[in-house]
Structure 1
Amino acid sequence: MKLLRSLFQFYVDASIHVALAVLALALVTLRELTILYDWTLVGAVFFGTITGYNFVKYARIAGLYHRSLAKSLRSIQLFSFLSFALMLYCAWHLPWKIIGLAGVFGLLTGLYVLPVFLNRSLRNLAGLKLIVVSMVWAGVTVIVPAANMEGSFSSDVWILFIQRFLLILVLTLPFEIRDLPYDLPKLRTLPQVVGIRNTKWLGSIFLVICAILEGFKDELCINHALSLQLTLIVSAILLWMSSKKQSRYFSSFWVESIPILYLIVFLFLDYYFATSC
């Protein structure tokens, strides 16, 4: 039991779970837009997410305490270096267009933690934290996969990008609510500015907008629409269950499992109720 608990903790702390969540959203995009699966792209997204997230979470700790890192952090550090190497291998086989787009969002990830703006990172600039996280997730899971399409982006791609941005924004809110007692007032996070209850109402409005946008697509995929609606409902439930006092894995596991549920439901509907997208 202790071994399973340690493995699960490593699975979450090493960002494997969040990488699967990002990958799930990218696969939803590929399926909805009927883009052929490119396994080098899949690998780059997965290993790139692990690299980026662990850099954001642990770079400062490793820099300050590199000689006295706990065994668990050393394991995560080694795992991150391996993931970085695998990301480079996958990226080597991708077109330059995709590498360039991924590089833009990778740069945003770096600026999120590096103090380049008057000795402050994007994470520490008032009100930007939520926007940057949502932008990077939406870009990596919609724009980068869609770049595999021939020609220019259709309006459906941009609608999907806005939907994804709103969904990620809402999925980030339970983390913001959890961190409310610890965030500095200067960060001006949404719960700090409008309060927890109003944050939940705003998140609910964003989810409704996300649902409505599905009806504006030129090519509506019924199975995707159904899986999206279920995903939005589950997101709303967990958002309203959020509080400052959460269980350890409420946000870092259950909330981040929602994109994986999204993909599973989509694939289930596709398998048993095949429709054209």
Structure 2
Amino acid sequence: MVVLKKIIDFYINSSLHVALSAFALVSMTYFFFGIDGYSSIAFFAFFGTVVGYNFVKYDAITRLNKTEIKKELKTIVFLSFLSLLACFYFFFQLSWESKLSAFTFFGLTLLYTLPFFPNKQNARNWKGVKIYIIGITWVGVTVILPLVETEIPFSIDMLLMAFQRFLLVFSIVLVFDIVDVKRDDLHLQTVPQIIGVEPTKKLGYLLLFLLLLLEFLYTNNHHFLPFFFKLLVCGTIAVFLFFANENRSRYYASFWLESVPILWWLVLVVF
């Protein structure tokens, strides 16, 4: 059990789990738009997420001079370097429009991590901003990039998918914020810090309900299957919201909650 725990911890700490979630969401974007044969963006999203998330997490650790995960960190740095090489490989396979979009969202990641102005905090520490940057970045990588790469013309359906994905990510981040409400610095002004835990849960339920309502506005998608799977994932996240509290272990959100998109994708693959 000790060995298994170490493997799972490394899997989470190295951002492989969240990267697999990104891969799953890109794949589902392709599925719901009926697109086949495009894998470069999915792998670019996977390796880019490993690099981006590790950069965000461990840049902060270096700034705080923490050394308790020094041995593991060396392995994670090596993994991140390999992921960066893979990211470059798939990046150069993209169209120039996709490259430009990728640079835009990479810029958001840098803004989130690095202070660009002297004596100023990075965007990660701006009051109430973190959740919106995360949502926009995930929409860009898992919706905008795949559709730009496949030259899907702008439509109401694309806008709906982007808004639904933002609501999905926003709801997931709310669970993280509830679990971390006591550990997060008060100046971050996360949603549960501002309005409380129970109102945050109600907000999450409302956003998930709105996500499902938007499904009925699609112009080219009147099938039961997409709605069923979105109902499945929204229901699962609602359960996580219901049971979320500040006493939950780190695995509650970082492993189990982030497994929801992966499970959703695997169900689609199997059935």
- Please state which band the TM-score falls in when normalised by the shorter chain: over 0.9
Matches within 5 A, 1:24-173: 24-62=24-62, 65=65, 70-116=70-116, 119-150=120-151, 152-173=153-174
User: Who is 1:245 aligned against?
Assistant: 247
The 8 Å contact of residues 26 and 41 in structure 2, kept in 1 or not, is answered as no
Separation in structure 1 between the aligned mates of residue 151 and residue 145 of structure 2, nearest angstrom: 13
The 8 Å contact of residues 24 and 261 in structure 2, kept in 1 or not, is answered as yes
User: Who is 2:214 aligned against?
Assistant: 213
Cα 1:24–1:151 change in 2 (3 A) is closer
Cα 1:239–1:151 change in 2 (3 A) is closer
Separation in structure 2 between the aligned mates of residue 10 and residue 69 of structure 1, nearest angstrom: 10
User: Who is 1:198 aligned against?
Assistant: 199
The 8 Å contact of residues 224 and 266 in structure 1, kept in 2 or not, is answered as no
The 8 Å contact of residues 138 and 161 in structure 1, kept in 2 or not, is answered as yes
Q: Structure 1 stretch 52-61 or stretch 197-206: which is displaced more?
A: 52-61
Structure 2 residue runs of 5 or longer lacking an equivalent are none
The secondary structure found in structure 1 opposite 2:149 is coil
Once the 2 structures are TM-superposed, how far is the Cα of residue 81 of structure 1 from its aligned partner?
0.9
Q: Structure 1 stretch 206-215 or stretch 147-156: which is displaced more?
A: 147-156
**1:256-277 CA deviation, whole Å, 9 max, x = no partner?**
0111122123334xx4xxxxxx
Q: Structure 1 stretch 242-251 or stretch 215-224: which is displaced more?
A: 215-224
The 8 Å contact of residues 94 and 149 in structure 2, kept in 1 or not, is answered as no
The secondary structure found in structure 2 opposite 1:131 is helix
Q: What do you get for the CA RMSD once the two structures are aligned?
A: 1.7
The 8 Å contact of residues 62 and 69 in structure 1, kept in 2 or not, is answered as no
Separation in structure 1 between the aligned mates of residue 269 and residue 184 of structure 2, nearest angstrom: 38
Q: Which amino acid aligns with 1:116?
A: F
Once the 2 structures are TM-superposed, how far is the Cα of residue 154 of structure 1 from its aligned partner?
1.5
Separation in structure 2 between the aligned mates of residue 184 and residue 64 of structure 1, nearest angstrom: 14
Q: Tell me the number of residue pairs that the alignment of Structure 1 and Structure 2 aligns.
A: 269
Separation in structure 2 between the aligned mates of residue 248 and residue 151 of structure 1, nearest angstrom: 39
The 8 Å contact of residues 111 and 122 in structure 2, kept in 1 or not, is answered as yes
Cα 1:37–1:66 change in 2 (3 A) is farther
Once the 2 structures are TM-superposed, how far is the Cα of residue 68 of structure 1 from its aligned partner?
8.6
Q: Which amino acid aligns with 2:157?
A: D
**1:140-188 CA deviation, whole Å, 9 max, x = no partner?**
1000001123352111011000000000000011111122112222211
User: Who is 1:255 aligned against?
Assistant: 257
The secondary structure found in structure 2 opposite 1:245 is coil
Q: Structure 1 stretch 121-130 or stretch 195-204: which is displaced more?
A: 121-130
Structure 1 residue runs of 5 or longer lacking an equivalent are 272-277
Q: Which amino acid aligns with 2:29?
A: T
The secondary structure found in structure 2 opposite 1:127 is coil
Separation in structure 2 between the aligned mates of residue 239 and residue 11 of structure 1, nearest angstrom: 24
Once the 2 structures are TM-superposed, how far is the Cα of residue 224 of structure 1 from its aligned partner?
1.4
Q: Which amino acid aligns with 2:3?
A: L
Q: Structure 1 stretch 11-20 or stretch 34-43: which is displaced more?
A: 34-43
Separation in structure 2 between the aligned mates of residue 125 and residue 4 of structure 1, nearest angstrom: 37
Once the 2 structures are TM-superposed, how far is the Cα of residue 22 of structure 1 from its aligned partner?
0.9
Separation in structure 1 between the aligned mates of residue 22 and residue 186 of structure 2, nearest angstrom: 30
Once the 2 structures are TM-superposed, how far is the Cα of residue 64 of structure 1 from its aligned partner?
5.9
Moved over 4 A (4+): 63-69
**TM-score, normalization: structure 2?**
0.94
Of 221, 232, 235, the residue aligned with 1:233 is 235
The 8 Å contact of residues 208 and 234 in structure 2, kept in 1 or not, is answered as yes
Separation in structure 2 between the aligned mates of residue 67 and residue 247 of structure 1, nearest angstrom: 22
Q: Does 1:187 align with 2:188?
A: yes
Percent identity at matched positions?
A: 36
